[in-house]
Amino acid sequence: MAAELVQTRQRRVLRRGQRGMTTAEYAVGTVAIATGVGVLIKVLSDPKFQDALWVVIQSLVKVIQGFFGG
């Protein structure tokens, strides 16, 4: 009987430890996401990056048109 109680308690403790992020983990996750979004906005607003992206898009369109005989 005592062994069953110990196992039941151990299962409860293990389940309780798996219930999601704590406040500190939420804070770190939020800062990481905000930083990533900031970097993404900075990169996407750079004219050099926009020009390079436009060249890549134009090349892809030409390749796709070549497949369809256009």
- Give domain limits for the chain: 2-67
Q: What's the pLDDT band for 53 if we cut at 50, 70, 90?
A: very high
pLDDT score of 44 more than 70: yes
Alpha-carbon dihedral of residues 3, 16, 14, 1, nearest 10 degrees? 10
- Looking at this protein, which amino acid is placed at residue 18? Q
* pTM of structure: 0.50
For 4-13, the pLDDT digits (tens) are: 766 777 777 6
pLDDT computed for residue 3 by the predictor = 72
Q: How far apart are CA 9 and CA 52, in angstroms?
A: 59
pLDDT score of 45 more than 90: yes
Average pLDDT over the chain, rounded to an integer = 84
pLDDT computed for residue 40 by the predictor = 94
